[in-house]
A = this chain, B = another copy of it.
């Protein structure tokens, strides 16, 4: 209906899935833990939260402020803590699994990757491979346009293109490593129903060997 948003909505749901939070804290985690790839401001976050509430993905809670025990009374502007509803959880799963055409773009991909810890292995594979083929398309276009326009571009433009292509190629190699690592990975932890907080996901969950590759 009104005011749907892409990546911000997704990130909010993802963070809230880990644990309930209020807006301020949410924003900080958006810009630090996750935020390497993007910064959000209150002007977008708070309206987004409201929308998600009206959609039923989130509920507001009056913030049982467990910190300072004094002055727990009356009219103090309570922090609003947002908690993911069951429907919200479901919706988030859908978003994770969904492979829309724009799902492989830079920021969409980064956002999904950031929540791989909460994603099943097959979905992870699909996302990684989707991203890779998206990048390979992009490389094709770049090469084609280079062939078409080479000779009538100055050195700087050329250098810019070359550096751009190299960056993309580098990301493809990175994805290749990740995909290999995933393939080698064993156990499929069902992810569902385990009430929070055991985020220690050991047993070779992430990227083992394959480092100092340059």
Q: Check A1 for interface membership: any CB of B closer than 8 A.
A: no
A116-B156 contact in complex given A163-B174, A170-B170, C-beta closer than 8 Å: yes
Is the Cβ of B36 less than 8 Å from the Cβ of A206?
A: no
Q: In the bound complex, what is the Cα–Cα distance between A157 and B174 (angstroms)? A: 15
Nearest B residue to A113 via CB reads B160
Is the Cβ of B164 less than 8 Å from the Cβ of A36?
A: yes
Select the stretch in A60-68, A82-90, A94-102, A141-149 that faces chain B. Answer: A141-149
Q: In the bound complex, what is the Cα–Cα distance between A33 and B151 (angstroms)? A: 11
Q: Check A41 for interface membership: any CB of B closer than 8 A.
A: no
Q: Check A158 for interface membership: any CB of B closer than 8 A.
A: yes
Is the Cβ of A33 less than 8 Å from the Cβ of B157?
A: yes
Nearest B residue to A206 via CB reads B155
Q: Check A201 for interface membership: any CB of B closer than 8 A.
A: yes
Q: In the bound complex, what is the Cα–Cα distance between A205 and B148 (angstroms)? A: 22
Is the Cβ of B206 less than 8 Å from the Cβ of A156?
A: yes
* Cross-interface CB contact of A117 among B34, B37, B110, B156, cutoff 8 Å: B156
Binary interface profile of A, 161-188, with partner B (CB < 8 Å = 1, else 0)? 1011001001000100010000000000
Q: In the bound complex, what is the Cα–Cα distance between A153 and B113 (angstroms)? A: 13
Is the Cβ of B207 less than 8 Å from the Cβ of A159?
A: yes
Nearest B residue to A138 via CB reads B36
19 A-B pairs within 8 Å (CB atoms) are namely A32-B148, A33-B145, A33-B153, A33-B157, A36-B142, A36-B145, A36-B160, A37-B164, A114-B157, A116-B154, A117-B155, A155-B205, A156-B206, A156-B207, A158-B206, A159-B178, A159-B207, A167-B167, A167-B170
- What residues of chain A have their CB less than 8 Å away from a CB belonging to chain B? 32-37, 110, 113-117, 142, 145, 148-149, 152-161, 163-164, 167, 170, 174, 178, 199, 201, 205-207, 214
